[in-house]
Amino acid sequence: MLEKVSDRVAVRSILILSAVVVGFLVWFIYGRQTSGYADHAFVETLPLVNCSLNALTTVFVVIGLLCISKRKLRAHSACMILATASSALFLLCYLLYHYFHGDTKFPGQGLIRPVYFFILITHIITSIAVVPLIFTTLFFAASKRFQNHKAVARWTYPVWLYVSVTGILVYLILKQYTTITA
């Protein structure tokens, strides 16, 4: 059935869906009050859970790329679907953390400050860009348009790796300078 959807309609629908997802995230993260349960033990474990999910995504994307370079198509497909699932789970846990805890202010001074904000800002920008890239790459795979799949995937995987690795870095830097406990 997906084979019948034209590229134009698919890309337009994916852009609209991505705008809805990103719009919801921006509203959820920046447009509302937090709940005030920041000290709950469950909330305190979420930063480590989020960092681990980013690490898992990184591993699945790298293994998925190794698989396709050896023409192991089923393993490639499975790894990329697992990478998508761990990214989606990360997003859910990230939203939960934001719901209960809100923003974590960065107190570090000196050279680490511009370094941290460079990583954070580029992480945020690329995490927005990766949403339509992942949807489009998956759509072209699911509709068996593998030439298009390859063309988009060459952008998707480096951006995706950048997002997940910088997610880990943000956690590690914050852990050095703040009281996140996990």
Q: Which stretch binds ligand HEM (CB under 6 A): 36-44, 101-109, 122-130, 146-154?
A: 146-154
Instruction: Scan residues 150-179 and list those touching ligand HEM (CB under 6 A).
Output: 150, 153-154, 156-157
3-state secondary structure of 9: helix
Kindly tell me the burial class for residue 31, based on how many C-beta atoms sit within 10 Å of its own C-beta (0-12, 13-18, 19 or more): exposed
Long-range contacts of 54-57 (CB under 8 A, 24+ apart): 54/90, 54/164, 54/165, 54/167, 54/168, 54/171, 55/164, 55/168, 56/86, 57/83, 57/86, 57/87, 57/90, 57/160, 57/164
Least distance (Å) between residue 1 CB and ligand HEM: 15
Q: Which of 161, 57, 155, 169 is nearest to 118 (CA)?
A: 169
Instruction: Scan residues 80-109 and list those touching ligand HEM (CB under 6 A).
Output: 80-81
Q: Sketch the per residue contact string, 37 through 66, with ligand HEM: x for CB under 6 A, - otherwise.
A: ------------------------------
- How many of the chain's residues bind ligand HEM (CB under 6 A)? 17
Nearer to ligand HEM, 113 or 144 (CB): 144
Nearer to ligand HEM, 58 or 137 (CB): 137
Task: Please report, as ranges, the residues that interact with ligand HEM according to CB under 6 A.
Answer: 68, 73, 76-77, 80-81, 134, 137-138, 141, 146, 149-150, 153-154, 156-157
